[in-house]
Homo-oligomer: A and B are copies of this chain.
Amino acid sequence: MYELYYWPTIQGRGEFVRLLLEDAGADYIDVVRKPESEGGGVQALRALVEASEHFAPPFLKDGETMVSQTPLIMDYLGERHGLTPRDTDRRRDTLRLSMVLSDFLVEAHDVHHPLAKEFFYEDQREEALRRAPSFRQMRIPKFYDYFEQLLQSNGYLVGDACSHAEFSLFQVVEGMRYAFPRTMARLEPKYPNVITLRDRIASRTGVATYLTSERRIPFNEHGIFRHYPELDI
């Protein structure tokens, strides 16, 4: 039985973990989404931060083992559920790609929060408007180009099988469609292999069931991917 600890009202980084757990059909508790009366709530997350030696959620507990940093959680779960290659070099490459996509998340967040997490969007909207063109025109293509090329050469991101890195890319595509629908409608036709991968992951039994379930929190303007139309022109 796994325990996931993450903010209860957003997909955020926790979603990368949820997707793997759902795909595997694993027994897990999304602890913080439980009522406080059942040991859940944000209080449970705060208590774990205090008690543990880990820096920031998501946290995965598996018995005595606790893992944090999203790509490491994916590597850990993938090893147990067939999404982390056994070969050392391929395993490292898979982790590396989930790390690259994790870096992209910072940019996808900071485009609407270029100054500070503590400020409201409205208090850094002018700065976001200045940051967004570079994100749309340079950064999105840089990352999508890279993954398109990998897939074009190999069919899969690593080796000859699906891996947790493909789940990372799936979730980035989902988030970008939500946050930048106009931009992505314009750009996606250049990335047919990325979109094929997205569809392949979406149609996996566990994922497909999850995506239409109530367990999946809708994207919203508290998460990493936020839709502000003025940034998406």
A contact set with B: CB distance below 8 Å: 53-56, 65, 67-69, 71-72, 76, 89, 92, 95-96, 99-100, 103, 106, 110, 114-119, 124, 127, 130-131, 134-135, 138, 146, 149-150, 153
Q: How far is the CA of A106 from the CA of B107 in the complex (A)?
A: 10
Can you list 10 A-B pairs with a CB-CB distance of less than 8 A? A53-B150, A67-B92, A71-B99, A76-B92, A114-B114, A115-B134, A118-B134, A119-B134, A127-B127, A127-B130
Closest chain-B Cβ to A63's Cβ sits at a distance in Å of 12
Chain B positions within 8 Å of A53 at CB level? 149-150, 153
A55, A95, A127, most chain B CB atoms within 10 A: A55
What residue of chain B has the Cβ atom nearest to residue A99's Cβ?
B69
Binding site secondary structure of chain A? helix
B65 touches A100 (CB 8 A): no
What residue of chain B has the Cβ atom nearest to residue A70's Cβ?
B99
Closest chain-B Cβ to A106's Cβ sits at a distance in Å of 6
Q: How far is the CA of A117 from the CA of B111 in the complex (A)?
A: 13
A115 touches B127 (CB 8 A): yes
Q: How far is the CA of A89 from the CA of B119 in the complex (A)?
A: 37
What residue of chain B has the Cβ atom nearest to residue A135's Cβ?
B116
Chain B positions within 8 Å of A96 at CB level? 54-55, 67-69, 72
Partner pick for A99 among B99, B118, B131, B149, CB 8 A cutoff: B99
A116 touches B92 (CB 8 A): no
Chain B positions within 8 Å of A146 at CB level? 55
Instruction: Known A-B contacts: A106-B106, A115-B134. Give 6 more (CB < 8 A).
Output: A53-B149, A55-B146, A65-B89, A67-B96, A68-B96, A115-B127
Closest chain-B Cβ to A107's Cβ sits at a distance in Å of 9
Chain B positions within 8 Å of A130 at CB level? 115-116, 124, 127
